[in-house]
Amino acid sequence: MTDYRLLIDGQMVAGHSQFDVINPANEQVLATCPKADEAQLNAAVAAATRAFPAWAARSQDERGALVDEIADRLLARAEEFAHLLTAEQGKPLDQARSEVMGTVFTLKAFAGMRIADKVLRDEDTHFVFEHRTPLGVCAAITPWNFPMVLLANKLGPCLVAGNTMVAKPAPTTPLTTLLLGEILAQVLPAGVVNIIADQNDLGGLLSAHPDVAKVAFTGSTATGRKVMASAAGTVKRVTLELGGNDAAIVMDDMPPALAARKVFAGAMTNAGQICVAIKRAYVHEAIYDDFVSEIVALAQAAVVDDGARQGVTIGPVQNRMQFDKVMELIESARDDGRILTGGAPLDRPGYFIPPTIVAGLHDDAPLVREEQFGPVLPVLKFSDIDDVIARANASDYGLGGTVWGRDVERATAVARRINTGTVWVNQHLAIDPRIPFRGVKQSGLGAELGEAGLLEYTQAHIVNGVELAGE
C-alpha cells in the first residue's frame, strides 16, 4: 500500500492518527490515510502565513510559471492519478482521465492569466487606479465528487494571485489530493501550499481560524451555511460553491431520441454526482412518451460496474452515506410515482445503484424538490412555457440548468428566464476555466473560474493621487 502523507511546511509528514479510505466499488480498504489533528492544522496555517510575504513578492510571471510546472508534472503522471481517482471516487476510468486532464487544463489556464491595474481616472494631474493585492492564507475545502478539478479551481487562482493555501479534501476522497502534494512539494517553496486530511472534524476549525483570510468552499449547502457562520468571526472572504437542483427543459421541437441521449448523459455522468447534473427533467407533452421510452432504454443499456473495468459507463455512488440518501429518495418516490427502470441496488458489495428513471411525481415530491446527487432522475411533463419556467425557478437552489430545442432562439429566450448562475442551451457541462461559474440563491456566493474567479483571491486597493505642481 502507498504511504500517503500530509504536506506541511514543505515536508511530507505522517498524520497524528490514521483512518481507512474505502473503494466504493468493493467496500474494501483501499489505503490508510493520515489524519491531521488541530496542532497540525495550526502548523499548516502557520507555515502558509510565514510563506506568504515572499510568495506575494514574486512576480505574477514567476508564480504563473510554477503553476504551469505543477500542471506539466501532473500531466506526466496522468495515468497514475486517473487510476487512483477511479479507485477512491468510483467514476469510470475514462471519466477519471477527463478529470485529470481538466485539472491540468484549469491549472494551465490560470497559469496564463494576469491581473492588471485598472485605471479609473487619468486627468491632468489627477490619477486613480485600482490595484489588486493578494489576501493572505486561503483555505480550500473540497467535496468528494470531483476531488481534483475542484481543488484546481481554487489552487490555480490562489497561487497566481499571490496567496498561500491550506487545502483540506473530503474524508472519503483524500488520496489524489495527498498524491498531488508530492508534486507541490517538488515545485513550490515550503509552506506555499499545505495539505491536511480529516474525518469531517477540521473544516470548521479551518474556516474559523483567525489567520485564514479566505475560505474557498465547495460542498453541500448545509455545510456552506456553517462555513459562512464560522468565517464571520474574522469577517473572512468566502467563496461558496454549493448544491443545485438543475432543471432540464426539453422543448416540443426537440427530437426525442436526441433529447433522451443528452439528458441521460447530463443526469448520469459520474453516477449523477455533479453539482450541475440534470436533477429534474421537464419534457413537453408532445414528445413526452417517446422521450420516456428512449431514456428508459438508455438506462437499461448502461453498464454499471467497477469503474476500473473497461466499458463501464456508471460506477458506484461514492460513499455509504450518499448511497443511503439516494435509496431513501428512491423509496420516497415509490408511492406517488412510477419507477420505470432501476430502483434497487445491485446485489453485491459496492455502492451500486443502476440508473433509475421515475415518472408521475408532483413537483413537491422529495425527489423533485431535493438534490438527489445520484443516478436517479424524475421526468416530468409540461405543456406551457411560462408554467415550466416558473416550476424550474421554484427552488431555493440556483446553480445551473439546460434548455433543449431545435429553434435555438426560442430556447435561448427561455434560458434567459432561468434564475441560476449558468444555463446551457443544447449542451451541458460546458465548464471552462476561462468562463466564470457561480451559484445564485442558496447555491453559492461569489464566483470560481474566469477572471472573476481569479479576482476573488484579491483585494481591490485604490490608489488615488495628484501631481504636485510647484506647491
The answer to whether 405 contacts ligand NAD (rule: CB under 6 A) is no
Pick from 40, 86, 142, 270 the residue near ligand NAD by CB under 6 A.
142
How far is the CA of 140 from the CAs of 152, 202, 420, 453, 457, in angstroms? 10, 12, 24, 14, 12
The answer to whether 422 contacts ligand NAD (rule: CB under 6 A) is no
Q: Tell me how far, at minimum, the Cβ of 302 lies from ligand NAD, in Å.
A: 22
The answer to whether 306 contacts ligand NAD (rule: CB under 6 A) is no
Nearer to ligand NAD, 168 or 391 (CB): 168
Catalytic choice (275, 371, 448, 456): 275
- Mapping DSSP onto H, E and C, the string for 17-52 reads EEEEEEECCCCEEEEEEEECCHHHHHHHHHHHHHHH
The answer to whether 442 contacts ligand NAD (rule: CB under 6 A) is no
Write the interaction track for ligand NAD spanning residues 361-380; mark x where CB under 6 A is met and - where it is not: ----------x-x-------
Nearer to ligand NAD, 218 or 356 (CB): 218
Q: Give the amino acid at 117.
A: D
Beta strand extents in 27-163 (DSSP E only): 28-35, 118-123, 126-134, 137-141
Q: Tell me how far, at minimum, the Cβ of 45 lies from ligand NAD, in Å.
A: 14
Nearer to ligand NAD, 136 or 171 (CB): 171
Residue 379: strand pairing partners: 281, 359
Contact 104, 183 (CB under 8 A): no
The answer to whether 106 contacts ligand NAD (rule: CB under 6 A) is no
Write the interaction track for ligand NAD spanning residues 149-188; mark x where CB under 6 A is met and - where it is not: -x-----------------x-xx-----------------
The gap between the terminal CA atoms of the chain, to the nearest Å, is 74
Pick from 192, 242, 299, 365 the residue near ligand NAD by CB under 6 A.
242
Question: In the bound complex, which residue of the shown chain has the CB atom lying closest to ligand NAD?
Answer: 203
Contact 145, 275 (CB under 8 A): yes
Mapping DSSP to helix (H, G, I), strand (E, B) and coil, where does residue 282 land?
strand
From the list 165, 389, 155, the residue with the least C-alpha distance to 284 is 389
Cβ neighbours of residue 397 under 8 Å, at least 6 residues apart? 221, 242, 243, 244, 245, 246, 371, 420, 439, 441, 442, 443
Count of residues of this chain found to bind ligand NAD when the rule CB under 6 A is applied: 29
Q: Give the amino acid at 170.
A: A
Write the interaction track for ligand NAD spanning residues 189-228; mark x where CB under 6 A is met and - where it is not: -----------x--xx--x----------xxx--x--xx-
% helix / strand / coil in the chain, to the nearest 5?
40, 25, 35
Quote the cell numbers at residue 218.
465547495
> Is 88 in the active site?
no
Contact 235, 158 (CB under 8 A): no
Pick from 272, 337, 405, 444 the residue near ligand NAD by CB under 6 A.
444
- Per CB under 6 A, which region of 144-152, 259-267, 382-390, 451-459 contacts ligand NAD? 144-152
Catalytic choice (241, 294, 448, 456): 241
Contact 37, 16 (CB under 8 A): yes
Pick from 15, 102, 134, 244 the residue near ligand NAD by CB under 6 A.
244
> Is 33 in the active site?
no
Q: Tell me how far, at minimum, the Cβ of 166 lies from ligand NAD, in Å.
A: 12
Active-site residues, by number, are: 241, 275
Residues lying near ligand NAD in the complex (CB under 6 A) are found at 141-145, 150, 168, 170-171, 200, 203-204, 207, 218-220, 223, 226-227, 241-244, 275, 371, 373, 399, 439, 444
